[in-house]
């Protein structure tokens, strides 16, 4: 891991870069300009380029190269010991900011949303702020699956203000993040954040956003077995919540 950044900047942004390869260069370039325009030098980017050994993925080399060129960028690039949840947790563990945001590096989410969720976090004195997708460019099937998933979530975890559990960016204060005990190694980690936020009675705010399609750049990493695992995990975590009462 790079040692570039100073401790405790105003905001850390964890960027999930899995298999982004060269496309991450323009994403980071645009994000750097956005962050510098709003925060000056008081920010850090955590580029998570964890990889499967032997896969030929150039992402870890690229994020390390980018980090060497900026004192505001940290590269986390380790052999994978899990999937998206493990990547996210490794990025969060490297973040030193007073506030911590998370976004995917595939350009499906507007990077400007990071500033939007930060401003609401401060204005509303919230613990967690996130987006919800009002339009989606990833197809009818994914829209349907997301709709079913969010309905199930609301039924199993009532009272939580979350219209779109998996939507990013999410931003938390450091105090809120340190109350979480995240364990998920897979795609369920977004839901795990929201379930624990519910348990901790976080003040949560949501903002609408637009969600772009991948445009043929790659296939979605969320396959049918992952969807079944999502649903299974919802019921497992519901039982865990009963035990914690």
Residue 1 has a pLDDT of 44
Residue 146 has a pLDDT of 79
CATH architecture for the domain at 11-243: Alpha-Beta Complex (3.90)
Return phi, psi of residue 58, to 5°: -85, -5
Distance from C-alpha of 206 to C-alpha of 166, rounded to nearest angstrom: 12
Distance from C-alpha of 4 to C-alpha of 241, rounded to nearest angstrom: 39
Distance from C-alpha of 39 to C-alpha of 141, rounded to nearest angstrom: 39
Give the torsion through C-alpha atoms of 76, 81, 85, 91, to 10 deg.
-20
Residue 243 has a pLDDT of 62
Residue 137 has a pLDDT of 65
Residue 182 has a pLDDT of 96
Please give the average pLDDT of every successive group of 10 residues along the chain, which has 245 residues.
Answer: 67 96 96 98 97 95 97 97 94 98 93 98 98 79 77 89 91 98 92 95 95 59 66 82 64
DSSP-assigned letters across all residues of 2-22? ---SPSS-SEEEEEE-TT-TT
* Helix residue ranges, H only, the chain: 23-39, 59-68, 84-94, 112-123, 140-156, 174-177, 189-199, 224-243
Enter the pTM of the model.
0.88
> 170, 217, 234, 155: which is closest to 20 by C-alpha?
217
Residue 245 has a pLDDT of 56
Residue 2 has a pLDDT of 45
Q: How far is CA 115 from the centre of its chain?
A: 15
Largest Cα–Cα separation, the chain: 49
User: What is the sign, positive or negative, of the torsion defined by CA atoms of 143, 149, 152, 158?
Assistant: negative
Residue 117 has a pLDDT of 98
């Amino acid at each position: 891991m790079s040692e570039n950044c100073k401790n405790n900047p105003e905001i850390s942004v964890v960027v999930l870069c899995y298999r982004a390869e060269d496309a991450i260069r323009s994403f980071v370039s645009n994000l750097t300009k956005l962050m510098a325009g709003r925060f000056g030098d008081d920010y850090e980017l955590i580029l998570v380029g964890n990889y499967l050994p032997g896969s030929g993925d150039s992402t870890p080399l690229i994020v390390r190269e980018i980090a060497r060129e900026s004192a505001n960028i940290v590269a986390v690039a380790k052999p994978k010991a899990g999937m998206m949840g493990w990547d996210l947790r490794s990025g969060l563990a490297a973040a030193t900011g007073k506030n911590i945001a998370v976004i995917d590096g595939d350009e499906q989410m507007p990077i400007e949303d990071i500033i939007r969720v930060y401003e609401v976090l401060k204005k509303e004195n919230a613990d967690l702020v996130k987006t919800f997708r009002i339009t989606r460019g990833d197809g009818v099937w994914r829209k349907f699956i997301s709709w079913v998933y969010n309905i199930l979530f609301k039924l199993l975890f009532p009272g939580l203000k979350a219209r779109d559990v998996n939507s990013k960016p999410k931003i938390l204060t450091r105090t809120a993040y340190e109350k979480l005990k995240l364990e998920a190694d897979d795609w369920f980690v977004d839901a795990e954040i929201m379930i624990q936020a519910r348990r901790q009675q976080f003040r949560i705010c949501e903002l609408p956003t637009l969600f772009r399609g991948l445009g043929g750049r790659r296939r979605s990493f969320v396959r049918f077995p992952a969807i079944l695992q999502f649903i299974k995990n919802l019921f497992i975590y519901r039982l865990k919540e009963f035990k914690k009462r």
